[in-house]
Structure 1
Amino acid sequence: MGFTQAFKLAFKSLAGSKMRAFLTMLGIIIGVASVIILVSLMQGMTGEVTSMFEDMGTNTLSVMITGRGSSRTVDVDDLYDLYEENTDVFLGLSPTVSVNGTVKTGTDSDSFDSTSVTGVSEQYTEIKGYTLASGRFISYADLESRGKVAVVGTYIADTVFGGDPVGESIKINGNAFTIVGVMEEQGDSTEGSADDCVYIPYTTASKLTFGQISSFTFATRDVSLNTQATDLIDAALYAVFQNENYYTISDMQEIVDSMEEMTGMMTMVLVGIAGISLLVGGIGIMNIMLVSVTERTREIGIRKSLGAKRRDIMRQFVIEAGTTSALGGLIGIVFGALVAVVLGRAIGIDADPSVSAVLLSFGVSVFIGVFFGFMPASKAAKLNPIDALRYD
């Protein structure tokens, strides 16, 4: 018996008992659909989080100096010296100062309590990869003169000034600042979003907060230089403090890599749990195939008496089991893909099934069918033709 004829007999057998065939495939359908859904959702979530971190710049290093309990300090000039000595590694440097308080525009009723106010350097846009919608960004002259100038996000620009705030004034903790630029939209221009922000010179922000600047953002010329840059900063700071507890250096690329590794492990665990359904489905296929062998014992005896060999009987039942599992896998892939897309849109992520997940799920479903169909096929192939013909 050839493969073509074996496939025809397999489809004929499935068509002859549609409900039993569907129930046989149900475990495979659920297992494959579960794998597709879980993998797609996890990949979508991973992509979303990774995109958020990449928007922050994977070639950036965040340095926080606490220095608590130490009589030694590191100021802005010290880190700028380090930057200027290693311009082949560093692309830019910006001290960052967070200003707590309120932003007001016009009358006191126009208050923006959720707006973030950050003091930065003139290199901040280059470090973060931001662009301006209009006006200019903070300049070196603004830093030197501690100028009261500000660059606002699109939320304030659109909400208060109709999208054209350049030349207007805002108040930060009671201090008047002139708006000189507007950032390009980063999010959705809503309250509390990435567009609800104000940037001012870090020298001015330091004066407003009456504190020492302890936070810095470095940018490397390439992600591959992050490790070298980290070593340079660590060596410089350790030489001053002689204690690593007085500072922290965060590599954005390492954070992204760690996050992807963690979500990858979670995906494998979830796929393993979903794989139990595939195992149950395989056992169901083996059980039904054993029943089928018993029901078709006389048929097997007739075929053997007409010259069918063991390998022919074996091939017929293995292909029938594999076909059953493969059809269940295809149905599971379609169902799982539809559910994954719908759920992804519902929670706001891109959860389109990947080609690798689809191929893996289909391959596993076929393998399970063939694997669990082997024992019933072997039993059928070993039947004695005389005993099979006598079976009632």
Structure 2
Amino acid sequence: MSWLEVFRIAARALLRNKTRSFLTTLGIIIGVGAVIAVVAIGAGAKAQVANAFASMGSNVLVVMSGSASSGGARGGFGSMPTLTWDDLKAIQTEVPSVRYAAPVLRAGTQILSEDQNWTTSVQGTTPDYLDIRNWQVAQGERFSESDVEAGNKVALLGVTVVDKLFGAGADPVGQMVRIKNVPFQVIGVLQKKGQSPMGQDYDDVALVPASTFLAKVQGGLGKFVNGAIQVGAISPEATGRAEKEISELLRDRHRIPPGMEDDFQTRNLTEIASAQESSTRTLTLFLLITAAVAGLG
């Protein structure tokens, strides 16, 4: 039997069963389309996660105060301050795998320009924080260690804050804003970072020197850091080693005996990113199998 004859027989069979042929063809089209859509969605989700964590930094650790027992009840992380400013200095100078370390002190508060106001996250930190986050300044300049030492009233604004206070695309460098009714000079605008996978706006922020934050925005806790410490390892590969070295250093400094729980917590953003990527791959595979089965059906 020739190929031409086979084609004729197949064509006659299709014409005799038009409805069945149409539904079969439609099922194949829908199945293939579903598989393509699932693969595209999975790739997009993976890219979004990668971009979000790249914005946070690829070799970043977050060190937070732990908890302490009170009346037989143990509080959650951050419920009691345990990290000190001397701990921060020790991390900066005594941990071989650490390149940068910076305090991150936060307060949700209102910022006022001449005729607008906006409530945002005001953060007190040091220049190292910008290096840890790989955060460039799009306009103006970043504040310096001299600004931190002198407690200068200067601020870096995220793009969202600039848009709300001065209008989209405005250049606020040199303008004055008021934080807690204290005048600050805007010396720079942070490069746009976008949003996290959970929808957090990274650009809705204002950065000021940590010393100024403690003196003018929110009081401190004496020797304790009333926030977190962000750390940048010397490389992404060294992040796990840096986490271990920091843990050993803090346990020694806090005189925690063997077998006792840490009174601090470290979070490895590289590991979190890897876990998130693995979850995305698993979800994509599941949807792909589901779409394939649906297509076959």
Q: Which residue, 104, 120, 140 being the options, matches 1:135?
A: 140
Q: Tell me the alpha carbon deviations over residues 319-364 of structure 1, each in whole angstroms, 9 at most, x when there is no partner.
A: xxxxxxxxxxxxxxxxxxxxxxxxxxxxxxxxxxxxxxxxxxxxxx
Does residue 236 of the first structure (1) align with residue 236 of the second (2)?
no
Shift of residue 195, structure 1, vs aligned partner: 2.8
Q: Which residue, 86, 92, 96 being the options, matches 2:95?
A: 86
Which residue in 1 is equivalent to 2:273? 256
Question: What runs of 5+ residues in structure 2 fail to find an aligned partner?
Answer: 71-79
Instruction: Output aligned runs, 1:285-364, within 5 Å.
Output: none
Asked if the contact 1:154–1:182 (Cα under 8 Å) also holds between the matched residues in 2, the reply is: yes
Shift of residue 245, structure 1, vs aligned partner: 5.0
Which residue in 2 is equivalent to 1:268? 285
Asked if the contact 1:187–1:193 (Cα under 8 Å) also holds between the matched residues in 2, the reply is: yes
- Percent pairwise identity: 29
Which residue in 2 is equivalent to 1:216? 229
Structure (1 or 2) with the larger CA radius of gyration: 1
Which residue in 2 is equivalent to 1:48? 48
Does residue 151 of the first structure (1) align with residue 147 of the second (2)?
no
CA distance in 2, matches of 1:164, 1:86: 40
Letter in 2 for 1:86: V
CA distance in 1, matches of 2:32, 2:65: 50
Letter in 1 for 2:185: T
Letter in 1 for 2:229: F
Asked if the contact 1:14–1:21 (Cα under 8 Å) also holds between the matched residues in 2, the reply is: no
CA distance in 2, matches of 1:100, 1:278: 50
Structure 1 residues 185, 274: closer, same or farther in 2, change over 3 A?
closer
CA distance in 2, matches of 1:255, 1:9: 61
CA distance in 1, matches of 2:229, 2:177: 26
Structure 1 residues 143, 10: closer, same or farther in 2, change over 3 A?
farther
Which residue in 1 is equivalent to 2:74? none
Does residue 126 of the first structure (1) align with residue 124 of the second (2)?
no
Which residue in 2 is equivalent to 1:325? none
Asked if the contact 1:61–1:230 (Cα under 8 Å) also holds between the matched residues in 2, the reply is: yes
Q: Provide the TM-score with structure 2 as the length reference.
A: 0.80
Aligned residue-pair number:
269
- Give SS of 2:127's match: coil
Q: CA RMSD in A?
A: 2.7
Which residue in 1 is equivalent to 2:38? 38
Shift of residue 158, structure 1, vs aligned partner: 4.7
Asked if the contact 1:238–1:244 (Cα under 8 Å) also holds between the matched residues in 2, the reply is: no
Does residue 101 of the first structure (1) align with residue 109 of the second (2)?
yes
Shift of residue 216, structure 1, vs aligned partner: 0.8
Worse overlay, 12-21 or 141-150 = 12-21
> Which protein is richer in strand relative to its size?
2
Which residue in 1 is equivalent to 2:73? none
Question: What runs of 5+ residues in structure 1 fail to find an aligned partner?
Answer: 281-392
